[in-house]
Amino acid sequence: MLTRARPATLEAILRDLASRDHRVRVEAAQYATTVVGDDEGDVRAKVVAGLIAALADDHDAVRSAVAIALADMQAIEALPGLLLAADDESAMVRQMAITALGELGDPRARERVSRALRDPRPEVRFQAMVAFPRIARGAGEDDEIWTALGLGIEDDDAFVRSHAAEACAELADGEKLPAHVADRLARRARDAEETLDVRVASAIALGESRDERAAETLLAVARGELKEKDPRRVQAVFELLGELGVEEARAIATDAAFSFRSRFGDPSRRAAALVTLIRLGERRAVDHVLSELEARGWERKVAAIGIVNRTALSEARPKLEALRDDPMVGEMAADTLAQLA
């Protein structure tokens, strides 16, 4: 059976956006960004115009795909159409439009996304929880952001609470959170009746703001008492325990980094455990990473350089200098040296 060729040119995208088959129109939207690439001229203008027109398509899957494509292309000129799409009759289209408005970050969308924070439908509210901080930050309205996120943490819907906590983590970046927000996150993180998703997201947000009230929940995740399945979150948990200087994490991280079973587990978990140990001043972890910089396999070197970068391990400088001319990892070694400097 022959498969249809993916649209790879401007003409093919515009042709497929007008197809009678909505699946072809969806695919055209999905591949529009690959056709435009880095072009900022006539090709981009024609594709964006075609996508904006497709925001009025009669199929919701097409309108949703188009909204995301316009966001990926940072098509600010599509703002009026996306604002209309945020009130679409389809919940899926509303969600994607609000997501797109957040990706664009244009302050002119502030009022519409602010209204979405109070939408009776939780699926709209949780998209707004991510989008609103990005838009309001561009307008310099930090107080409005924290008010919205504080309310989100108390939302009736667990998905909204989780998204609000994740947004807090994204914005914290090592800085102290407003007291009313941090207190609500601490209550969620410690609440045994709360969902796992919200507890872990709240603890990570607290950890990102260097709030020690996160430690108890973070340790529960690291021990496996709270069964977090997302490896990225588990990695964040280990690294935050190191940043917070939680001594109780030393034995857990040692097991995750050096036990026999750790060699066959998730490599990102093992790397994060090494980061934790280095931040806790564990000499064994430092020596291990330094030795890995001389490993034969390039994958091991890449992993070690990544750990050096995340821990600012200055002892690694001589070994990184020796790797500058390595065809596989030389560029990464040079970038890490620049970070250390």
Let me know if residue 89 belongs to a domain: yes
Q: How far apart are the first and last CA of the chain?
A: 57
Average model confidence (pLDDT) across the chain? 92
Chain centre to alpha carbon of residue 255: 28
Q: How many residues make up the chain in this entry?
A: 341
Buried b (16+ CB within 10 A) or exposed e, 61-76: bbbbbbbbbbbbbebe
Query: d(Cα 67, Cα 88) in Å, to the nearest integer?
Result: 12
| Domain presence at residue 77 | yes
Domain count, the chain: 2
Say what the pLDDT of residue 2 is.
45
User: What does DSSP assign to residue 190?
Assistant: H
CB 271 within 8 A of CB 253: no
Phi, psi of 119 (to 5 degrees): -65, 140
Q: Summarize the confidence of residues 205-213 as an average pLDDT.
A: 96
Residue 92 confidence class, pLDDT cut points 50, 70, 90: very high
User: Is residue 8 predicted with pLDDT exceeding 80?
Assistant: no
The answer to whether residue 59 sits within a structural domain is yes
296 lies in which domain range? 287-341
Closest among 52, 76, 66, 69 to 22, alpha carbons compared: 66
DSSP 325: T
Longest dimension (CA), the chain: 65
Residue 112 in any domain: the answer is: no
With a CB cutoff of 8 Å and minimum separation 6, the contacts of 250 are: 276, 277, 280, 282
Reported as a pLDDT band with limits 50, 70 and 90, residue 172 is: confident
Q: Is residue 217 part of a domain?
A: no
Query: Does residue 138 surpass a pLDDT of 80?
Result: no
Question: Is there a domain that residue 14 lies in?
Answer: yes
What confidence score (pLDDT) does residue 7 get?
Answer: 77
CATH code assigned at 69: 1.25.10.10
Binned at pLDDT 50, 70 and 90, residue 4 comes out as low
In three-state form (DSSP H/G/I as H, E/B as E, the rest C), the secondary structure along 297-317 is CHHHHHHHHHHHHHHCCHHHH
pLDDT number for residue 5 = 67
Residue 139 lies in a domain: no
If pLDDT is split at 50, 70 and 90, which confidence band does 173 have?
Answer: confident
- Domain limit, last residue, from 82, 104, 126: 104
The verdict on residue 5 lying in a domain is: yes
Query: Is residue 1 over pLDDT 60?
Result: no
Domain boundary among 104, 139, 169: 104
Over the stretch 181-202, which tens digit does the pLDDT of each residue have?
999 999 999 999 999 999 999 9
Domain boundary among 47, 80, 104: 104
